Every structure is written in structure tokens, then in C-alpha cells.
């Protein structure tokens, strides 16, 4: 085998290895992220919901207000009707849940709220939910894609919920923001940016490998057979 | 709106709870139902039905108007006082999940302190249940519904005679290590949000991988069957000649060198005696200086000294015999004889070498230099040392080098 053939074979093998490993690496990246996304969604699936969340979602379906049986001492039927009227008047879909703060309804407080939010977002619409658990205790947030609002339960949840909740519901339209989220946003700046960044990082990695090899040669006085050149 | 029917059933006051207990010994509300209120209620009701003594299980939100921090204990006292019912009472209240256990009346005539024994047994059983739950789920814990079930299990199993004894079987304990009974910490991601990779990230990963694998892979493929390198040398050489030559016997080497040195020194001595005024006094002077230094060294035990004696004698003879130049030996090993040519020996410096060494240098083959013993017993070429011979190259580097050699 003459030198040119040999060099071409080296180039060909290296290119093949490079292409194969790149495909493999992206495949591994894809699979690992897919697993992570799936694992993340697991606790928020419909089957994982507590009966408390299931009942709340069912109760919210018609007029957007749900008062849990244990929370009737916080908001009576008359108060509930006032909240329902405010919800009907709001342009933003608003869901109001009144229930007792508890650590023993089958999920942590955070998980319970996340389950409720996931259930509300299932319809595909977006809106705002308020969860009243007591003064300064509860949650105000958006459901559905990419919204935020500036109200916080710590500041806003005070007084009689039959007065406070309708007032807060009326303010929702003015407080909620639905920013246009650039779904194409890419930290690496798309494929071309990614290739350039990858080349830069790759050169850094190769410098590291070269340094390690240099140290190896320096200490053991042994070198790889063959040369770079054909 | 409220889910139909459920709303008005909620026992929100002490009186309503007592009224519920009159026809049903178990009350589990959603607020304390561990997410599986129906299943828990059914299981506890079945256990309560098996009890031979009156039992009262209440898991609910504390009614408004209670005044102490431990609402479970307070509610239990109020419920018992209102109903006047003896037997086993277990109450747990949201939001903290306080639990309270009490026994009124004598539920086990053979046991002296029913309440203490029951509480001890339940506490032990609860520890065992917690262990069983943790075995399968590190983030899980025993909930008030587990404790309610354990109270009924212990009552049904019969109070143990000794304090802090768990009367339940492993099977009974392990039945609580399921999602119906056990509680679990937060499962949904807090703060972090896994997303599928962007095209840019794919490109980064693919480029880094491809670049590194291509470069490293190319060099490794080039190495397969490639020409090997001598350790510490920049030049390639064939794989077959890599094995270092065996070191010659040092004693023989020294004897041989001594014989050559002695004969050369004698020759110089004789030549110097014969030399008359026809020879330039400067050349005679050089020969005498070399002889003086050579004679003292022929009997030395150091190979370098003996070789030095040989080269000094040859230098002296050369000085007497011809007026042109001075004797230059092969830099690599003076025993090779006079240098025939000059060759680069690395570092850009050219040195006089014999023909054989010049050929080896050109081919990149291994050299066979004169060795000296290093401080650690290792062998190294003399020119890597710091002797006067290394500095002068046995005269190969020129100059009135013999003057540097001590007498």
C-alpha cells in the first residue's frame, strides 16, 4: 500500500468514525432529554392526580369557581355566587379554588398546585387561577403557555374572601401578561451558530487532549507510531 | 360550584362529627384522605367492622373555634365529651396532621394500662411501617391514614402484654407501603425545566464529537502499523531496530581500551624521544603536554579516563607526525577512530563523526555512543554528562582542548 492510499484510507476511516460518533452523540442527547421530559411530566399526568385535584377540576368546569367541602366556612354560597359573577365578567378565563391548606391530601402543596395547573392547561386555553387557602395563603398564577401576572397571594389575599376574591378577579384582565414567546429561540443561535460554537469547543478539547498526550510523551518517552503526514 | 351532594355532608362542627359517628365509626374527609379518600375510607371501615370493641376514627379538618395548638387532641376530647362513647378514639386534623389516640374504658381486661399499651404498640408498628415504606421509596413517609389503619390493626390483633411491642405481622405492615397509604414529597420539578434540545445544541454536540473523533481517529489510524519512534528521539526508525543493543561487558571494554591506550602512549613516548629539532617546538610541546596527561590515565579504572588517555596519545602522535590541523576523533565514540566527516547531531550543531556514525545519523538509526555510568547506575552517552570529556568531546570540538584536561 503506497503512502497516498494509506493516507486516504486514514482520512476515510477517520471521517467515517467522526460521522458515526456524531450521529450517536446526538441520538444519546435526544434520548436522554426525551427521558427527562417524560420523567418530568410523570407526576402531572391525569392518572397521578389526587382526588382533591380531580374534584376541584370537575367543580371548576361550569362556572370557574370551586369551594371544597372543607372550605365552606371560608366562602359561603352567596360569596361563591359573587365570585362566579366576577369570573363571568372577566375577559381572561379565571378559575377560583377555595380549599383548606393541608399536607395530607395525597401530594405536597406544590405538587397539588402543579397538578391543578396541568389539569387546567389540558383544555388548551390559557388563563389565570386563584387558590385561596386563607389570608396570605394560596396561589395566583397563569395556566397554559407563557403568561405571568404581578399579583401575589402574600400581598393580595386579605380580608373576607367573598369581597377580596371578586375584587382580585376584576383586576386580572389588567394584571395578566401574555408575552409573545419566541419559540425559535435557541441559546446556540441555530445550526450555524451551533457548528461554530462546537468547532471552538472542539479545538479546546483537542488542545486538552494534545496537552495530555504531551505530558504522556514527556514522562514515558513513548510516542505513538506513525506520523500525521502521508 | 360545589360537586353535587358532597357539600352539605361535610361534618364541619363537633356536633356534626358526633352525629356522623353515631351511624359510622369512621370519618375520612378529602382534606386528610391522602388523595385516595374513597379507598382509605373503605379499608378503614372494613377494619373497624372487625373490631370487637367500639372504635372511632376521625380524619378531618379541625372545626373552627378550637383554641389549642394541637387541634387533634382537643377535638378528640370534645368528641368524647359530647358523645360519651367509650372505646378507642383516633383523631387526626389538617393542616399539620397532628394525631391523637385515647382509650376510654377497659378494652382489654387482661391488660392494665390499655391506652399506654396501645400507643406503644402503634408507635412501634408505625416505625416498622415507615421502614417498609422507605424501602421502596426513599422520599415517602407514613401518613395519618397509615396510623389510623395501624390503630385498628393493633386493636384487632389484641393489645400486646408488654410495652412497645409490635403485634402486627410483616405482611400487615407491608400492606401500607402503597400509594394509597403512604405520603410522598414533591415530585414535580421545582425550578428546573427539562426541554428537548434545540437544533443549535444538536449542532454543538455533533460538531464537537465529529471534530475530536476525526482528529484523534485519523492520528490513531495513522499509528496502526506506522513507523515506531525511538524513545526520546524525533526521528523515526523501523520497528525491528528499536530494541536497544545489549551493553558490553564493562571489564572487557575497559581492558581493551587500556591496551590500546598503553600502546598508543608508548608509541607517543618513543616518537617524542626520537623527535629532533626538525620538528617544530610547538608541536613537540603539544605532544609532550598530551603525553604527560595520557600517561597518568592509562591505569585509571574509569573508562572515560582510559579512552581520554588513548585520544590524548593519538593527538600527540598526530601533532608530531604532521603539521596540518589536529587530531579529531569520532564525537560519538572516540574508539571509532578519526572522524571522516561532519554530521548534525540535533540542535543544529555539527560534529565530526566516523563514516559509520554519519551513515547511522543520516538513516536515523540508533547510534552506539561511548557510555558512562550515571550517578544512579544508569548508562548514558558520555556527552550527556558534565565531565571534561563531555565539554571537549575528546577533542572533536577542537581548540587546545588538552589544556583543559587536568594533569
pLDDT tens-digit map of B281-340: 888 888 888 888 988 888 888 888 899 999 999 888 888 888 778 888 888 888 888 888
pLDDT value of residue A191: 92
Phi, psi values for residue B344, rounded to 5°: -75, 130
Instruction: Assign B351 a pLDDT band (cuts: 50, 70, 90).
Output: confident
Identify which of B182, B198, B115 has the alpha carbon closest to the alpha carbon of residue B146: B182
CB B125 within 8 A of CB B153: yes
Identify which of B244, B322, B305, B27 has the alpha carbon closest to the alpha carbon of residue B148: B27
Rounded to whole angstroms, the Cα distance separating B186 from A42 reads 12
CB A165 within 8 A of CB A83: yes
Structural domain contains residue A184? no
Task: Report residue A55 as a C-alpha cell.
Answer: 374534584
Nearest to B209 among A21, A70, A102 (CB): A21
Computed over every residue of chain A, the mean pLDDT equals: 91
Structural domain contains residue A107? yes
Q: Give one word for B388, left, alpha or beta, with left for phi > 0 and alpha for psi -120 to 50.
A: alpha
pLDDT value of residue B8: 62
Asked whether residue B276 falls in the same domain as residue B381, the answer is yes
Contacts of A84 in chain B (CB under 8 A): 1
Question: Could you report the predicted ipTM of this complex, rounded to two decimals?
Answer: 0.77
Structural domain contains residue B205? no
Task: Report residue B362 as a C-alpha cell.
Answer: 543520516
Q: Does A62 touch chain B (CB under 8 A)?
A: yes
Domain CATH number, residue A165:
3.10.310
Per residue, the 3-state secondary structure of chain B, as one string, reads CCCCCCHHHCCCCHHHHHHHHHHCCEEECHHHCCCCHHHHHHHHHHHHHHCCCCEEEEEEECCCCCCCCCHHHHHHHHHHHHHCCCEEEEEEEECCCEEEEEEECCCCCCCCCHHHHHHHHHHHHHHHHHHHHHHHCCCEECCHHHHHHHHHHHHHHCCCCCCCCCCCCHHHHHCCCCCCCCEECCCCCCCCCCCCCCHHHHHHHHHHHHHHHHHHHHHHHHHCCCCCECCCCCCECCHHHHCCCCCCCHHHHHHHHHHHHHHHHHHHHHHHHHCCCCCCHHHHHHHHHHHHHHHCCCCCCCHHHHHHHHHHHHHHHHHHHCCCCCCCECCCCHHHCECCEEEECCCCCEEEECHHHHHHHHHCCCCCCCEEECCCCCEEEHHHCCCHHHHHHHHCCCCCHHHHCCC
Task: Report residue A178 as a C-alpha cell.
Answer: 401574555
Task: Report residue B82 as a C-alpha cell.
Answer: 359530647
Structural domain contains residue B12? yes
Computed over every residue of chain B, the mean pLDDT equals: 86
Structural domain contains residue B198? no
Instruction: Assign B270 a pLDDT band (cuts: 50, 70, 90).
Output: confident
Q: Which string of DSSP letters, residue by residue, matches A161-209? A: HHHHHHHHHHHHHHHEE-----TT--TT-HHHHHHHHHHHHHHHHHHHH
Task: Report residue B189 as a C-alpha cell.
Answer: 420539578
Rounded to whole angstroms, the Cα distance separating B159 from B162 reads 9
Asked whether residue B169 falls in the same domain as residue B255, the answer is no
Asked whether residue A65 falls in the same domain as residue A149, the answer is yes
Asked whether residue A75 falls in the same domain as residue A173, the answer is yes
Rg (CA), chain B: 52
Pairing mode, if any, of strands A148-149 and A176-177?
antiparallel
Nearest to B211 among A9, A42, A199 (CB): A199
Instruction: Assign B274 a pLDDT band (cuts: 50, 70, 90).
Output: confident
pLDDT value of residue B347: 66
Portion of chain B with pLDDT greater than 90, in percent: 40
Q: Which domain holds residue A212?
A: 192-230
Asked whether residue B12 falls in the same domain as residue B149, the answer is yes
pTM score > 0.90 for this model? no
Structural domain contains residue B240? no
pLDDT tens-digit map of A151-177: 888 889 999 999 999 999 999 999 999
> Nearest-CA distance from B194 to chain A in Å?
5
Q: Which residues contact A114 (CB under 8 A, 6 or more apart)?
A: A43, A44, B188
Asked whether residue A24 falls in the same domain as residue A71, the answer is no
Pairing mode, if any, of strands A127-134 and A94-98?
parallel
Asked whether residue A108 falls in the same domain as residue A75, the answer is yes
Structural domain contains residue B66? yes
Contacts of B216 in chain A (CB under 8 A): 206, 209
Rounded to whole angstroms, the Cα distance separating B183 from B153 reads 19
Asked whether residue B173 falls in the same domain as residue B278, the answer is no
Q: Which residues contact B34 (CB under 8 A, 6 or more apart)?
A: A104, A105, A106, B40, B143, B145, B180, B181, B183
> Nearest-CA distance from B212 to chain A in Å?
6
Helices B144-157 and B37-50: crossing angle in degrees, nearest 10, is 20
Structural domain contains residue A182? no
> Nearest-CA distance from B15 to chain A in Å?
15
* Residue A61, helix vs strand vs coil: coil
Contact between chains at B217 and A17 (C-beta distance less than 8 A): yes
Which of these three, B184, B212, B228, is where a domain ends?
B184
Structural domain contains residue A160? yes
Structural domain contains residue A186? no
Contact between chains at B199 and A11 (C-beta distance less than 8 A): no
Contacts with B, A 94-123, CB within 8 Å: 99-108, 110-111, 114-115
* Residue A146, helix vs strand vs coil: coil
- Could you give the number of structural domains in chain A? 3
Rg (CA), chain A: 29
Asked whether residue B179 falls in the same domain as residue B254, the answer is no
Q: Does A52 touch chain B (CB under 8 A)?
A: yes
CB A68 within 8 A of CB B27: no
Asked whether residue A168 falls in the same domain as residue A66, the answer is yes
Contact between chains at A52 and B3 (C-beta distance less than 8 A): no
CA dihedral of B263, B265, B267, B272, whole degrees rounded to 10: -170
CB A143 within 8 A of CB A152: no
Contact between chains at B195 and A33 (C-beta distance less than 8 A): yes
pLDDT tens-digit map of B3-43: 444 456 799 899 999 999 999 999 999 999 999 999 999 99
Asked whether residue A170 falls in the same domain as residue A200, the answer is no
pLDDT tens-digit map of B192-223: 778 889 899 999 999 999 999 999 999 998 88
Q: Which residue has the cell 415504606?
A: B133
Interface with chain A: mutation pick from B178, B184, B199, B200, highest number of A CBs within 10 Å: B200
Contact between chains at A40 and B31 (C-beta distance less than 8 A): no
Asked whether residue B172 falls in the same domain as residue B259, the answer is no
pLDDT tens-digit map of B131-159: 999 998 989 999 999 999 999 999 999 99
Which of these three, B147, B168, B184, is where a domain ends?
B184
Asked whether residue A17 falls in the same domain as residue A70, the answer is no
Q: Which domain holds residue B93?
A: 7-184
Structural domain contains residue B204? no
pLDDT tens-digit map of B68-79: 989 999 999 999
- Could you give the number of structural domains in chain B? 2
Contacts with B, A 183-212, CB within 8 Å: 186-195, 197-199, 201-203, 205-206, 209
Asked whether residue A72 falls in the same domain as residue A33, the answer is no
pLDDT tens-digit map of A50-94: 999 999 999 999 999 999 999 998 999 999 999 999 999 999 999
Contacts of B17 in chain A (CB under 8 A): none
Which residue of chain A comes nearest to B218, CA vs CA? A14
Structural domain contains residue B241? no
Q: Does A173 touch chain B (CB under 8 A)?
A: no
Asked whether residue A30 falls in the same domain as residue A68, the answer is no
Nearest to A69 among B6, B97, B209 (CB): B6
Nearest to A105 among B34, B38, B225 (CB): B34
Contact between chains at A21 and B64 (C-beta distance less than 8 A): no
What are the beta bridge partners of residue B59? B28, B92
CB B124 within 8 A of CB B164: yes
Asked whether residue A38 falls in the same domain as residue A59, the answer is no
Q: Does A10 touch chain B (CB under 8 A)?
A: yes
CB A224 within 8 A of CB B219: yes
How many Cβ atoms from other residues are within 10 Å of residue A164's Cβ?
18
Asked whether residue A113 falls in the same domain as residue A32, the answer is no
Contacts of A14 in chain B (CB under 8 A): 213-215, 217-218, 221
CB A65 within 8 A of CB A76: no
pLDDT value of residue A213: 92
Asked whether residue A52 falls in the same domain as residue A157, the answer is yes
Nearest to B212 among A50, A106, A205 (CB): A205
Q: Does A46 touch chain B (CB under 8 A)?
A: no
Contacts of B208 in chain A (CB under 8 A): 198, 201-202, 205
Structural domain contains residue B393? yes
Contacts of B200 in chain A (CB under 8 A): 186-191, 193-194, 197
Asked whether residue B17 falls in the same domain as residue B95, the answer is yes
Amino acid at each position: 500500500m503506497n503512502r497516498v492510499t494509506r493516507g486516504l484510507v486514514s482520512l476515510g476511516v477517520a471521517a467515517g468514525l467522526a460521522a458515526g460518533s456524531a450521529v450517536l452523540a446526538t441520538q444519546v442527547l435526544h434520548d436522554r432529554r426525551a427521558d427527562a421530559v417524560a420523567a418530568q411530566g410523570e407526576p402531572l399526568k391525569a392518572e397521578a392526580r389526587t382526588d382533591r385535584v380531580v374534584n376541584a377540576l370537575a367543580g371548576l368546569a361550569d362556572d370557574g369557581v370551586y369551594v371544597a367541602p372543607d372550605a365552606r366556612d371560608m366562602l359561603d354560597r352567596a360569596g361563591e355566587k359573587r365570585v362566579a359573577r366576577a369570573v363571568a365578567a372577566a375577559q381572561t378565563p379565571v378559575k377560583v379554588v377555595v380549599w383548606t391548606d393541608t399536607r395530607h391530601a395525597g401530594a405536597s402543596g406544590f405538587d397539588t398546585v402543579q397538578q391543578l395547573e396541568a389539569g387546567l392547561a389540558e383544555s388548551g386555553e390559557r388563563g389565570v387561577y386563584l387558590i385561596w387557602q386563607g389570608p396570605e395563603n394560596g396561589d395566583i398564577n397563569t395556566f397554559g403557555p407563557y403568561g405571568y401576572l404581578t399579583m401575589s397571594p402574600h400581598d393580595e389575599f386579605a380580608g373576607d374572601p367573598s369581597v377580596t376574591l371578586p375584587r382580585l378577579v376584576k383586576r386580572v384582565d389588567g394584571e395578566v401578561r401574555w408575552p409573545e414567546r419566541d419559540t425559535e429561540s435557541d441559546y446556540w443561535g441555530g445550526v450555524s451558530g451551533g457548528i461554530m460554537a462546537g468547532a471552538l469547543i472542539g479545538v479546546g478539547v483537542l488542545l486538552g487532549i494534545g496537552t495530555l498526550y504531551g505530558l504522556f510523551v514527556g514522562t514515558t518517552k513513548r510516542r505513538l507510531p506513525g506520523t500525521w503526514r502521508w | 360550584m360545589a360537586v353535587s351532594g358532597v357539600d352539605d355532608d361535610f361534618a364541619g362542627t363537633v356536633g356534626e362529627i358526633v352525629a356522623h359517628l353515631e351511624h359510622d365509626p369512621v370519618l375520612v374527609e378529602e382534606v386528610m384522605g391522602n388523595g385516595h379518600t374513597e379507598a382509605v375510607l373503605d379499608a378503614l371501615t372494613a377494619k373497624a367492622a372487625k373490631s370487637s370493641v367500639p372504635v372511632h376514627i376521625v380524619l378531618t379538618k379541625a372545626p373552627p373555634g378550637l383554641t389549642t395548638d394541637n387541634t387533634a387532641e382537643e377535638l378528640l376530647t370534645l368528641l368524647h365529651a359530647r358523645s360519651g362513647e367509650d372505646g378507642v378514639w383516633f383523631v387526626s386534623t389538617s393542616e399539620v396532621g397532628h394525631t391523637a389516640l385515647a382509650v376510654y374504658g377497659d378494652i382489654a381486661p387482661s391488660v392494665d394500662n390499655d391506652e399506654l399499651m396501645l400507643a406503644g404498640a402503634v408507635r412501634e408498628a408505625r416505625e416498622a411501617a415507615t421502614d417498609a415504606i422507605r424501602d421502596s421509596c426513599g422520599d415517602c413517609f407514613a401518613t395519618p391514614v397509615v396510623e389510623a389503619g395501624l390503630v385498628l390493626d393493633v386493636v384487632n390483633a389484641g393489645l400486646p402484654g408488654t410495652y412497645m411491642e409490635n403485634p402486627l405481622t410483616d405482611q400487615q405492615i407491608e400492606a401500607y407501603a402503597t400509594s394509597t397509604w403512604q405520603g410522598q414529597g414533591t415530585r414535580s420539578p421545582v425550578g428546573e425545566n427539562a426541554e428537548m434540545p434545540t437544533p443549535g445544541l444538536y449542532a454543538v454536540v455533533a460538531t464537537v464529537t465529529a471534530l475530536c473523533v476525526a482528529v484523534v481517529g485519523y492520528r490513531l489510524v495513522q499509528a496502526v502499523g506506522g513507523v515506531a519512534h525511538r524513545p526520546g528521539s524525533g526521528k523515526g526508525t523501523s520497528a525491528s531496530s528499536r530494541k536497544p543493543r545489549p551493553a558490553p561487558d564493562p571489564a572487557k571494554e575497559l581492558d581493551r581500551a587500556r591496551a590500546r591506550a598503553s600502546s598508543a602512549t608508548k608509541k607517543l613516548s618513543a616518537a617524542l624521544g626520537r623527535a629532533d629539532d626538525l620538528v617544530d617546538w610547538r608541536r613537540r610541546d603539544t605532544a609532550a603536554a598530551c603525553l604527560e596527561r595520557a600517561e597518568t590515565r592509562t591505569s585509571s579504572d574509569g573508562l572515560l579516563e582510559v579512552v581520554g588517555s588513548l585520544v590524548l596519545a593519538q593527538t600527540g602522535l598526530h601533532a608530531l607526525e604532521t603539521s596540518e590541523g589536529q587530531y579529531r576523533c569520532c564525537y560519538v565514540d572516540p574508539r571509532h577512530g578519526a572522524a571522516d566527516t561532519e554530521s548534525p547531531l540535533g540542535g543544529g550543531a555539527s560534529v565530526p563523526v566516523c563514516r559509520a556514525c554519519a551513515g547511522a545519523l543520516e538513516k536515523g538509526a540508533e547510534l552506539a555512543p561511548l557510555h558512562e555510568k550515571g550517578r544512579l547506575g544508569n548508562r548514558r552517552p558520555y556527552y550527556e554528562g558534565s565531565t571534561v570529556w563531555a565539554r571537549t568531546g575528546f577533542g572533536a570540538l577542537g581548540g587546545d582542548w588538552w589544556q583543559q584536561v587536568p594533569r
